[in-house]
Amino acid sequence: MRAMILIPTYNEASTVAELLHALATLRNTNQYAFDATIIDDNSPDKTAEIVESLGFEWVSVLKREKKDGLGNAYRAGFAHVLADQNYDQIVTMDADGSHRVEDLPAMFAAIGPGKSIVLGTRWIAGGSVLNWPRSRQLLSKSGTKYASLALGIKLADLTGGFRIYSRQLLDSLKLSDMSATGYCFQIEMALAAHLANAKATEVPITFVERVNGVSKMSRAIVIEALIQTTLWGVKRRLRPNADKLHYVK
């Protein structure tokens, strides 16, 4: 198997080089076959230029014109990698250091055949969060609990972004028809995977709150996710089969 790691960036000059060096160390063990694509939204802090200056031949930069949401960045990345038949697994992870490279081996080991999704999960045994106040942990746990109940998906961490999607799963989805742009994109992708009958495997990870740079989380993003998840939940109850027709080819 060969994986492509998609890493969206906007003003991540202070963290992206450290992440790529950590990935290079893992890659140099020759136990894992992967490349990486930085999806940069025209960062004013020259994130893309910093990545290119590192000279890693296995790292490419997908340059976008502007910042218009996490979902749109990832959908552009998906389209980019699916056009290349060399990759059968697609990893998504943050550039800010919150997703640890040390957790990747366990996630790679959990990959199954066919349509599958591996979710790096904070809220199961063995998972943890560092440097978050109790209020932030409660918000995240409550958000996942609400989404799980509203959508009928029995997963412990629907809002986390550290994941591995199989090519078969992404090829089976109508990615261009998806609309979520903020962090509720993660919920939408979990919903689509569920409707596609993908095998879901949760792997415990340690999530580390960023030390450098500025968090992209905001109250508006939380409200967007709450409203959108509620609408999805209502639609699933009123028209149970409509979502599957919308998301699955």
Measuring CA to CA, which residue among 23, 180, 181 is closest to residue 95?
23
For residue 119, the enclosing domain spans 3-247
pLDDT at residue number 216:
54
Give how many domains the chain has, as a whole number: 1
For every residue of 165-193, DSSP letters joined together read: EEHHHHHTB-GGG----STHHHHHHHHHH
Q: Which helix (H) or strand (E) holds 79?
A: helix 70-82
Q: Classify residue 152 as left (phi > 0), alpha (psi -120 to 50) or beta.
A: left
Residues of the chain with pLDDT under 50: none
pLDDT at residue number 80:
96
CATH number at residue 149: 3.90.550.10
pLDDT at residue number 176:
92
Over residues 115-125, the pLDDT tens digits come to 999 999 999 99
Q: Which residues of 62-75 are buried (b: 16+ CB within 10 A; e: fewer)?
A: bebeebebbbbbbb
Kindly report the pTM of this predicted structure. Answer: 0.92
**Calpha distance 120→16 (Å, rounded):** 20
Over residues 165-194, the pLDDT tens digits come to 999 999 999 999 998 887 789 999 999 999
